[in-house]
Structure 1
Amino acid sequence: MKPGARRLTGTDGVSHTFDPGSFALELILSGGPPPWDRYELLHTPDDAAAWLAESYLAADLPFTADDVRVTKADLARLKEFRALLWHVVPGMIPDAKTLPGITTRQLTPEDRALINATVGEPPLAELDEAGRIRRRTPITMRQVLGAAAQDLIDIIGSDQVARLRMCEGDNCALMFYDTSRPGNRRWCSMQRCGNRHKVGNYRTRHPS
């Protein structure tokens, strides 16, 4: 499974692969404000380092959890930025479902200031002893959040914002950036909500 694509298990016990389409959107999958904190994955700095080693940041140049430097203060900053995503991303998606416990909002001056202040130098590359490209380590949280903020800006600050989606499946609130060529992705995954939609249509056309 490619970095950034996550294997998720729903409350029904069914697992599926979900690709959020961007690193910024992927951060939402790691947990969230109450009541979404029941899905929290980043309890410790070590959790965050391991999660990042499987993220979109590792798509081009893989790295390990040991290559990431995360302190408790770093983890708090990551969660602060992630909370912003929970509040502003749904507000940019037409017809987005209401998320329990989440007050969605349009981007405020304070939000813009936080995003702009977070932009910074992303994780860097260098050449190893054999002249091959590798990730320069350690990777800092400043670099991680800098990459996430730039990713978010590239989407919401352009016409690409129209490609922000929330899954159309019943009782599914997974959000993603549609990277498909035609821009018509509707589901978190064809393995889950897309398949349920097809089954529902079939049963409608062929009642028993």
Structure 2
Amino acid sequence: MRARTTGRVLHDPKGGSFRFDAGAVCLDFAHTGGEGRYAVFESLHTPEDLAEWLAAPPLSAVLTVPATDADLGAAKSLRQAVWVVAHARADGEALPSDQVAVINAAASAPPLAPRLSDDGTSADWAAPVTVTQALSTLAREMVELLTGPLADRFRECASDNCPLVFVDSSRPGARRWCSMERCGNRSKLRTHRARRTGSA
């Protein structure tokens, strides 16, 4: 049914890609695009794009009811709410009530229902599998994060110009970067260059 790992490959419109693990599927979903200046990162252009994202691991929610334009609109509303609330928690600010209401509304719908295989060795989602159920599952995960043991582990990437947000589930709670492959290595390179310049 689902892999235990989270994370997706993000693509920069200027070129290049890297794997980013936000620590939760709902936070991975929050990074599929956005509004305003983040619109250039949009990956959910059509209902089919949404269905493809939901069907990929670790959620693996293969829809049995086709996604609609209304579903896509609801998905983008939830995505924005998760993004805004995650950043507010990472910044230690009060959560915007209007965005909390969007998350609660999505969570109030019936979620995806797991179904055990006849031999008891695997599982998938019981039909019907709809966008509304998938969004409810994502919203409920966000509620659990905000109220559970990782509630104080929301972080924004330590890079000055990277807005990616994640929940730090590492044991020491010392994660600073969206990805060592990207911002972590860039920071190391800048530090190294600064030291060389200082030595010179």
TM range (shorter): 0.7 to 0.9
Match of 2:101 in 1: 113
Question: 2:170 aligned to 163, 180, 199, which one?
Answer: 180
Partners of 1:3 and 1:45 in 2: CA distance = 25
Counterpart mapping for 1:48-67 below 5 A: 48-58=50-60, 64=62, 67=64
Decide whether the 8 Å contact of 1:22 with 1:56 is kept in 2: no
Asked if 1:5 is matched to 2:7, the reply is yes
Question: What stretches of structure 1 of length at least 5 have no aligned partner?
Answer: 96-104
Distance change >3 Å, CA 92–CA 129, structure 1 → 2: closer
Match of 2:179 in 1: 189
Shift of 1:76: 1.0
Distance change >3 Å, CA 35–CA 173, structure 1 → 2: same
Question: What stretches of structure 2 of length at least 5 have no aligned partner?
Answer: none
Question: 1:155 aligned to 140, 145, 149, which one?
Answer: 145
Distance change >3 Å, CA 141–CA 47, structure 1 → 2: same
Distance change >3 Å, CA 8–CA 2, structure 1 → 2: farther
Shift of 1:117: 2.5
Q: Deviations over 1:160-193 (max 9, x none)?
A: 2211111111311111111111111100111111
Match of 2:86 in 1: 89
Structure-2-length-normalised TM-score: 0.83
Shift of 1:77: 0.8
Identity %: 36
Asked if 1:23 is matched to 2:20, the reply is no
Alpha-carbon RMSD: 2.5
Distance change >3 Å, CA 110–CA 183, structure 1 → 2: same
Asked if 1:144 is matched to 2:126, the reply is no
Q: Which amino acid aligns with 1:88?
A: V
Match of 1:98 in 2: none
Structure-1-length-normalised TM-score: 0.80
Instruction: Describe the SS at the equivalent of 1:56.
Output: coil
